[in-house]
Amino acid sequence: MIPRYSRPEMVAIWSPQTKFKIWYEIEAHACDAMADLGVIPRENAQAVWKAKDVEFDVDRIDEIEAVTKHDVIAFLTHLAEHVGSEEARFVHQGMTSSDVLDTCFNVQLVRASDILIKDMEGLLAALKRRAIEHKDTVRVGRSHGIHAEPTTMGLTFARFYAEMDRNLARLKVARDEIATGAISGAVGTFANIDPRVEEHVCAQLGLNPEPISTQVIPRDRHAAFFATLGVVASSIENVATEIRHMQRTEVLEGAEFFSMGQKGSSAMPHKKNPVLTENLTGLARVVRMAVVPAMENVALWHERDISHSSVERNIGPDTTITLDFALARLTSVIDKMLIFPDNMLDNMNKFPGLVMSQRVLLALTQAGVSREDAYTMVQRNALKVWEHRTDFREELLADADVVQALGVDAINEKFDMGYHTKHVDTIFKRVFG
Active site residues: 144, 265
The three-state DSSP-derived secondary structure of the chain is CCHHHCCHHHHHHCCHHHHHHHHHHHHHHHHHHHHHCCCCCHHHHHHHHHHCCCCCCHHHHHHHHHHHCCHHHHHHHHHHHHHCCCCCCCCCCCCCHHHHHHHHHHHHHHHHHHHHHHHHHHHHHHHHHHHHHCCCCEEEEEECCEEEEEEEHHHHHHHHHHHHHHHHHHHHHHHHHHCEECCCCHHHCCCCCCHHHHHHHHHHHCCEECCCCCCCCCCHHHHHHHHHHHHHHHHHHHHHHHHHHHHCCCCCCEECCCCCCCCCCCCCCCCCCCHHHHHHHHHHHHHHCCHHHHHHCCCCCCCCCCCCHHHHHHHHHHHHHHHHHHHHHHHHHHHHCEECHHHHHHHHCCCCCHHHHHHHHHHHHHCCCCHHHHHHHHHHHHHHHHHHCCCHHHHHHCCHHHHHHHCHHHHHHCCCCHHHHCCHHHHHHHHHC
Q: What sign does the CA torsion over 145, 146, 148, 154 have?
A: positive
Q: How many CA atoms lie within 13 A of 355 on its CB side?
A: 25
Residue 254 gets the label, from left (phi > 0), alpha (psi -120 to 50) or beta, of: beta
- Distance of alpha carbon 103 from the chain centroid: 24
